[in-house]
Amino acid sequence: MQSETSSPLSRRQLAAGAASLCCLASLPSHARGHAPSLAVGDFLMPAQGKDSALLTESQIRNGDTAIMCWPVSAQTHQPRMETPYNRLWVVRTQAGFRGYSVICQHAGCLVSDWDSKTHRLTCPCHGSVYDVEHDGAVVGGPAPLPLPFAAIAVVDGHLRLAGGFSAKVGGHASRAD
Ligand code: FES
């Protein structure tokens, strides 16, 4: 694990990051139900590859790139790998950086496919397709709800969580549906 080199996140910086996405100000109480380990201020670490460096703004220069990440505690510097519900697809949308859940809203499979041309995420199990430029809206397949996302702020060049998920994470139907 690379040591943290940036200064701690100040209350003012966190407030600014959270305020940048107004929907997070009214998070329902169940929003963290399946991702209890996420915390505001968490760093992000790419989930694939050998490099355990913390994710920086420069790694996602435009909307064509999506990187699956684990959140990393700002206090312990340990990745929060205790549940797959913590993983996020980090993307740069026209509304700013966001971290979309990797758990399909249909029956809970891994949303594993990123299309850099359409900026959509697809679940291979039954073909649900989510549009990251439109708040994770379902644009194909059987998923009943949009893909939840968390706001991400840029602090000293690092991408850090600025809020919890926008809705309950996880499958809302059995895999036989
Ligand atoms: S679990 Fe993703 S489309 Fe069914």
What are the beta bridge partners of residue 140? 129
Range of the domain at 74: 11-102+147-161
Is residue 21 pLDDT above 60, yes or no? no
In a domain, 61, yes or no: yes
- pLDDT > 90: what percent of the chain? 68
The span from the CA of 111 to the CA of 129, in Å, is 9
Distance in Å, CA 141 to ligand 1 centroid? 8
Ligand 1 atom nearest the C-alpha of 109 is: 1
For residue 1, give the nearest of 65, 58, 57, 81 by alpha carbon. 81
Tell me how many domains the chain contains. Answer: 1
In a domain, 136, yes or no: no
Q: What's the whole-model pTM score?
A: 0.80
In a domain, 46, yes or no: yes
Query: What is the identity of the amino acid at 30?
Result: H
In a domain, 2, yes or no: no
Is residue 32 pLDDT above 60, yes or no? no
Q: Is the CB of 74 under 6 A from ligand 1?
A: no
- Residue to probe by mutation, ligand 1, list 89, 128, 139, most atoms within 8 Å of CB: 128
Q: pLDDT at position 171, please?
A: 74
The span from the CA of 22 to the CA of 66, in Å, is 23
The span from the CA of 74 to the CA of 132, in Å, is 26
Ligand 1 atom nearest the C-alpha of 107 is: 1
38 vs 139, which has greater pLDDT? 139
In a domain, 29, yes or no: yes
In a domain, 83, yes or no: yes
Distance in Å, CA 171 to ligand 1 centroid? 8
Query: What is the identity of the amino acid at 6?
Result: S
Q: Is the CB of 125 under 6 A from ligand 1?
A: yes
The span from the CA of 160 to the CA of 138, in Å, is 26
Q: Is the CB of 123 under 6 A from ligand 1?
A: yes
Q: Is the CB of 170 under 6 A from ligand 1?
A: no
Q: pLDDT at position 67, please?
A: 97
Residue nearest to atom 4 of ligand 1 (CA): 126
Residue nearest to atom 3 of ligand 1 (CA): 126
In a domain, 172, yes or no: no
In a domain, 69, yes or no: yes
DSSP sequence for 65-121:
-EEEEEEE-TTT--B--S-GGG-EEEEEETTEEEEEESB-TTT--B--EEETTTTEE
